[in-house]
Amino acid sequence: MTFKEQVSKLLNDALLEKQEIFLIELTISDSYKIIVTLDGDKGVNLQDCIDISRVIENNLDREEHDFSLEVASVGVGSPLKMTRQYKKNIGRTLIVKTNEEKIEAELVEANDEYIVLSWSAREPKKVGKGKETVQKRKEISYSEIKEAIVTINFN
């Protein structure tokens, strides 16, 4: 079993113990630097990172491979990468970039194929002068999304 396979197996075993936590990214450099990025349905706390780290570290032999290990939660402002992340952020505001446009709107629905965004926009009135506020809604498939980031509101 290669070092990477060994780390992957240990990580998967650790995640089976914590069903609400899921892997975003695992990278292992040629110098055996292991970086594990996690997210969770209700977020990831420090204890989750410690627990995952211990499972990996306690089951690898430093005599065989001199490795470094970093286990962290996905950062605020990091792009969403998995369907599960979209589902946990329903009700929050996203900035979604596609090839055609950039939309800042509330995520109102997320399933396995697409997301639905909702927002208010000012548009010219259909009759008469001036503008009116209209409610917009758009369905976007995951394949169309180039980047999606949750916005942070401090109000």
Per-residue model confidence as pLDDT tens for the chain (155 residues): 899 999 999 999 999 999 999 999 999 999 999 999 999 999 899 999 999 999 999 999 888 889 999 999 998 889 999 999 999 999 999 999 999 999 999 999 999 999 999 999 888 888 888 898 899 999 999 999 999 999 987 76
Query: Could you give the CA distance from residue 78 to residue 28 in angstroms, rounded to a whole number?
Result: 20
Tally DSSP H helices, then E strands, for the chain. 3, 8
Backbone angles phi, psi at 52, to 5 degrees: -65, -45
Q: State pTM to two decimals.
A: 0.82
pLDDT attached to residue 155: 67
Q: Which of 20, 132, 34, 35 is nearest to 87 (CA)?
A: 20
**Cα(146)–Cα(95) distance, integer angstroms:** 11
**pLDDT for the residue numbered 36:** 96
